[in-house]
Structure 1
Amino acid sequence: MAERIWDKYISTRDREIFEGSGYGKRGGLGRRPAVLVVDLFYNFTGDVLKPITESIGEWRNSCGEEGWAAVYKTAELLEAARSKNLPIIYSNAQRRADGQDSGRWKAKNHRAMEKTTSGGLGTEICKEVAPQPKDIQLLKLKPSMFFGTPLVSILNDLDVDTVLVTGLVTSGCVRATVTDAFSYNFSVGVIEDCCGDRWEVSHAVTLFEMDAKYADVISLQETKEYLGTIDEFSLPNNILQETC
């Protein structure tokens, strides 16, 4: 079996328990996927590619080079997804300047209010993965793309059975989105190359845990191969379509 990114963090004891408990079975993906792009905006990458130790001085949430790697790989994924006409849904997070909608975020980070309000570069989606006119954008204030947004309603209306999740950060908003998608009974693919995190161990172990219980963690190449097996996405009959 090919080595996985999390292997070096899993002890012999934990590996034995994992294998004995039955977790890690491939869940499989459906035939009507949508792509969820989680928080690929400049607050999480910085405005230019720099090592994270430099980037966080100005951009406290930056994932540095790992974040930009996720952006570039997601751009490849979106090209493949658009060739199949898949729904593509983005999340963004913008807050009021007075912090009244920040909730508990302020309690856990003394820099919580930096560059988070609308109108600044920090809340713009990276141009390499910029939404196209037909794509959907959702504003969220909490980790999951599902919490406090109409995402479930949108996916149900589109008759989506699978979500392909990309974005930042793996151990935070990506994981929260994945567990909620699982809870709503969607099949979930996490595209490993298209995710990133500030902390190497958090990234690796979170991928391990999601792959064990909530999702299939797959590579960009595997995702492209999967997309090659499905039909072009068509809107359900109940959705009004423009006619010429």
Structure 2
Amino acid sequence: MSAQDDYKQRSYGEIPVGTGSKPGIVVVDFQKGFTESQYPLGGAPLVMRALENTAKLLDVARACDVPVATCNTAYMNEREMPYWKITAVRETFRHDHPSAALDPRIFDPDYDLFVTKKGPSIFFNTGVADYFAKERVDTVIVTGCNTSGCIRASSIDSFSHRYRTLVPEDCVGDIEEQPHRDNLRDLGRRYVDVVDLQAALAFIESWHASKATAAA
């Protein structure tokens, strides 16, 4: 019996998370340091695919009045940082470094809540959960990079905050495909529903239509 079959036999992943009464979207670390190839961590193909698909998702979400929270990771200096083991993070993830700026393809400063996070999760000490509480969000769609790091951490924190959590596979990305697949598989066994862009769009559009019907 494979490990995957053993997990299944022990009931992992049997119960879907499903969707609730109102979506919200988090957009994790689509800053230029990850989306522009001139920087050491930038331009990974899976990240660029995720950026393109997230931009499509956000166009629809904003038109439907879905709350969006987006973040970068940046520090004053190395003294402020946690003990990152990544040289490129220590050298470039600074407030005054151009790689810290959000990619304009996914960021609308007039619509999105913007926070700067200091750890892996967009929810850790940022106020995003407070924002979603005010907006009465109960279902969080997680997008961004990297799947094995900040997406995993943000998804687990979303779960811990008792949100129904959806992770569209094609709206998140990583440096390599194997960690991307492995982490989504493990998240999907325990905490989230792994979906795709089309499923996320269908949920948002269905929610918007039901809201319009209720208001009529």
Could you list the per-position Cα deviations for residues 100-159 of structure 1 after superposition, in whole angstroms to 9, with x for gaps in the alignment? Answer: 211211xx1234322211233201111211224021001101000111111221111111
Fraction of identical pairs, as percent: 29
SS in 2 for 1:31: coil
* Selected match of 1:64 from 37, 44, 50: 44
Structure 1 residue 203, shift from structure 2 partner: 0.3
Question: Could you say which residue in structure 2 is the equivalent of 1:102?
Answer: 81
Aligned match of 2:12: 23
Structure 1 partner of 2:189: 212
Matches within 5 A, 1:54-133: 55=37, 58-96=38-76, 98-105=77-84, 108-133=85-110
Change (3 A) 1:86 1:143: same
Report which stretch shifted further, 111-120 or 187-196.
111-120
Kindly indicate whether the alpha-carbon contact (under 8 Å) linking 2:46 and 2:177 is maintained by their aligned counterparts in 1: no
2:56 is matched by which residue type in structure 1? E
Q: 1:182 aligns with which of 155, 159, 169?
A: 159
Q: Deviations over 1:50-93 (max 9, x none)?
A: xxxxx4xx523225222111111001000111121000100111
Structure 1 match to 2:27: 37
Q: Deviations over 1:9-56 (max 9, x none)?
A: xxx51122122111113110112110100000111122xxxxxxxx4x
**Cα RMSD for the two superposed structures:** 1.7
Q: Does residue 161 of the first structure (1) align with residue 138 of the second (2)?
A: yes
Distance 1:136 1:147 in 2: 15
Q: Is the 8 A contact 1:146 1:152 kept in 2?
A: yes
Structure 1, unmatched stretches of 5+, are 1-11, 47-54, 235-244
Question: SS of 1:203's equivalent?
Answer: helix
Distance 1:40 1:132 in 2: 14
Structure 1 counterpart of 2:214: none
1:228 equivalenced with 2:208 (yes/no): no
Moved more, 192-201 or 110-119: 110-119
Distance of 1:115 and 1:154 partners within structure 2: 29
Divergent runs of 4+, >4 A: none
When Rg is computed on C-alpha atoms for both structures, the one with the higher figure is: 1
Amino acid at match of 1:68: M
| Cα distance in structure 1, aligned partners of 2:210 and 2:138 | 12
User: Match for residue 176 of structure 2?
Assistant: 199
The question of whether the paired residues in 2 share the 8 Å contact of 1:63 and 1:197 is answered with no
CA distance in 1, matches of 2:150, 2:82: 16
- How far off its partner does 1:233 sit? 9.6
Separation in 2, partners of 1:203, 1:113: 23
**Secondary structure at the counterpart of residue 184 of structure 2:** helix
For the residue of structure 1 that corresponds to 2:71, the secondary structure is strand
